[in-house]
């Protein structure tokens, strides 16, 4: 990207606009993908937004493409799928476009990262994605140490449960199960604690808060934000009663501190279906719903992600 393009990109991003970068316009050797006036026939790759905040999801649009295209970003796979094309022309039916989603993990080091893409029968493509820091804040807490030290039994239990949750989070189903905009799992006031780290008695916890907390009373129905498969239901030491959904292509959502799980492990759930009731189980100080979204292992803020899915 040229310096001018990058400066424009930064200034647009700073006022909150998504924008488009024509990063790799290449004519194919055989001319099969030469522009014909139909934008869908043009060879291009674009990434938005640039720069990308740590803890958020980026989108890459690609043409020509297919579901056989496979990308890599920060060591994680990028899958491609057909999404609706943004067309704000009144009365015009939007077409479709091939897009892939990639997550900049909450603890990724700010910098420039390669996004590389391979499609069968095409030359490999690559572009750079700039990930910038975002201040998510640090919460400082001081409590008597006996209140925070886990007993050997609790430590052993938490370690056993981590094996189960790590396995669920490593699920990579090739088929995309969700479509269109994600819903909020509950209606309610949301605090902005995604990404926040905790300094407990002078020691910074390296694991930041990897979800959004909705402040809702115990018993509030929790709905699946999108279609998916229930991959784990468990009562865990830290998360309390928890439900994990696999939406396919490495996209996993999770719901913690529940009072009741309605979802059954192994079953499919539809968008809007009640999967649980909120509560205050596990290590919490009050009733709320913890809602987390992981994209191929990258911990991302569910709220900007929901906004992104509304364009798909
Ligand atoms: Zn939480």
5-10 own/partner pairs: CB under 8 Å, 24+ apart = 6/50, 6/130, 9/50, 9/51, 10/51
Listed residues 132, 153, 177: the one ending a domain: 132
| Residues 183, 221 contacting (CB under 8 angstroms) | no
Count of the separate structural domains present in the chain: 2
The contacts of residue 114 (CB under 8 Å, 6+ apart) are 72, 73, 126, 127, 128, 129
Q: Which of 45, 41, 297, 295 shows the shortest CA–CA distance to 167? A: 297
Q: How far is the CA of 96 from the centre of ligand 1 (A)?
A: 36
Q: How far is the CA of 142 from the centre of ligand 1 (A)?
A: 19
| Strand-strand pairing, 52-53 and 125-132 | parallel
For residues 183 and 211, give the distance between their C-alpha atoms in angstroms, rounded to a whole number.
Answer: 15
In this structure, are 187 and 66 located in the same domain?
A: no
Q: Which of 140, 125, 52, 65 shows the shortest CA–CA distance to 99? A: 65
In this structure, are 51 and 174 located in the same domain?
A: no
Q: How far is the CA of 88 from the centre of ligand 1 (A)?
A: 37
Q: How far is the CA of 271 from the centre of ligand 1 (A)?
A: 22
Strand, coil or helix: what is 159? helix
24-77: pLDDT as tens digits? 333 333 333 333 444 445 678 899 999 999 999 999 999 999 999 999 999 999
Neighbours of 22 (CB within 10 A): 11
Q: Residue for token digits 């609790």?
A: 154
Q: Residue for token digits 């039916």?
A: 93
In this structure, are 127 and 179 located in the same domain?
A: no
pLDDT at 241 over 70: yes
For residues 61 and 97, give the distance between their C-alpha atoms in angstroms, rounded to a whole number.
Answer: 7
Listed residues 132, 148, 172: the one ending a domain: 132
Q: How far is the CA of 194 from the centre of ligand 1 (A)?
A: 8
CATH code of the domain covering residue 111: 2.60.40.1590
Angle at CA of residue 128, ends 127 and 134, nearest 5°: 145
Q: How far is the CA of 25 from the centre of ligand 1 (A)?
A: 43
In this structure, are 177 and 287 located in the same domain?
A: yes
Q: How far is the CA of 104 from the centre of ligand 1 (A)?
A: 19
Q: Which of 83, 101, 99 shows the shortest CA–CA distance to 251? A: 101
Q: How far is the CA of 70 from the centre of ligand 1 (A)?
A: 32
Query: Whole domain around residue 74: which residue ranges?
Result: 3-132
In this structure, are 24 and 91 located in the same domain?
A: yes
Query: What would the mean pLDDT of 221-242 be, rounded to a whole number?
Result: 97
Q: Which of 102, 62, 106 shows the shortest CA–CA distance to 82? A: 62
For residues 282 and 161, give the distance between their C-alpha atoms in angstroms, rounded to a whole number.
Answer: 13
In this structure, are 53 and 181 located in the same domain?
A: no
| Residues 193, 275 contacting (CB under 8 angstroms) | no
Query: What would the mean pLDDT of 230-251 be, rounded to a whole number?
Result: 97
Q: How far is the CA of 159 from the centre of ligand 1 (A)?
A: 19
Average pLDDT, the chain: 86
Categorize the per-residue pLDDT at 143 as very low, low, confident or very high, splitting at 50, 70 and 90: confident
SS3 of the chain: helix, strand, coil, percent, to 5: 15, 35, 50
Eight-class DSSP state of 125: E
For residues 255 and 290, give the distance between their C-alpha atoms in angstroms, rounded to a whole number.
Answer: 6
In this structure, are 103 and 230 located in the same domain?
A: no
Residue 107 falls inside a structural domain: yes
Q: How far is the CA of 211 from the centre of ligand 1 (A)?
A: 5
In this structure, are 173 and 267 located in the same domain?
A: yes
Query: What would the mean pLDDT of 176-199 be, rounded to a whole number?
Result: 92
Residue 114 falls inside a structural domain: yes
pLDDT at 136 over 80: yes
Q: How far is the CA of 214 from the centre of ligand 1 (A)?
A: 8
Residue 151 falls inside a structural domain: no
Residue 249 bridge partners (DSSP): none
Residue 219 falls inside a structural domain: yes
In this structure, are 170 and 294 located in the same domain?
A: yes
For residues 215 and 27, give the distance between their C-alpha atoms in angstroms, rounded to a whole number.
Answer: 52
Q: What's residue 42's pLDDT?
A: 65
Residue 154 falls inside a structural domain: no
Listed residues 87, 112, 132: the one ending a domain: 132
In this structure, are 21 and 116 located in the same domain?
A: yes
Q: Which of 74, 83, 73 shows the shortest CA–CA distance to 117? A: 73
CATH code of the domain covering residue 270: 2.70.70.10
- What percent of the chain has a predicted confidence (pLDDT) above 70? 86
In this structure, are 100 and 28 located in the same domain?
A: yes
In this structure, are 124 and 186 located in the same domain?
A: no
79-100: pLDDT as tens digits? 999 998 876 777 777 789 999 9
């Amino acid at each position: 990207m040229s310096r001018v393009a990058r400066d424009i990109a930064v200034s647009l991003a700073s006022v909150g606009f998504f924008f488009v970068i024509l990063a790799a316009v290449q004519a194919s050797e055989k001319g099969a993908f030469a522009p014909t006036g139909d934008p869908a026939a043009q060879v291009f790759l674009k990434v938005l937004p640039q720069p990308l905040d740590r803890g958020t999801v980026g989108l890459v649009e690609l043409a020509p493409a297919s579901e056989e295209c496979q990308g890599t970003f920060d060591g994680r796979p990028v899958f491609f799928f057909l999404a609706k094309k943004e067309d704000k022309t009144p009365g015009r039916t939007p077409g479709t476009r091939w897009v892939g989603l990639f997550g900049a993990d909450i603890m990724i080091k700010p910098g420039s990262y390669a996004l590389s893409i391979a499609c069968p029968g095409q030359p490999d493509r690559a572009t750079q994605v700039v990930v910038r820091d975002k201040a998510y804040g640090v919460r400082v807490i001081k409590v008597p140490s006996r209140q925070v030290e886990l007993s050997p039994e609790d430590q052993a239990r938490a370690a056993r449960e981590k094996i189960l949750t790590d396995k669920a989070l490593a699920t990579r189903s090739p088929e995309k199960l969700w479509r269109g905009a994600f819903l909020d799992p509950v209606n309610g006031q949301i605090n902005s604690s995604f990404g926040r780290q905790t300094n407990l008695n002078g020691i910074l916890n390296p694991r930041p808060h990897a979800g959004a907390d909705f402040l809702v009373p115990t018993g509030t129905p929790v709905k699946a934000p999108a279609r998916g498969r229930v991959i784990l239901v468990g009562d865990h030491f830290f998360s309390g009663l928890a439900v994990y959904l696999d939406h396919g292509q490495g996209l996993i959502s999770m719901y913690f501190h529940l009072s009741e799980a309605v979802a059954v492990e192994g079953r499919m759930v539809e968008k809007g279906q009640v999967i649980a009731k909120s509560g205050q189980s596990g290590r919490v100080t009050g009733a709320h719903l913890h809602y987390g979204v992981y994209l191929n292992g990258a911990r991302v803020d569910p709220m900007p992600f929901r906004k992104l899915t509304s364009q798909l």
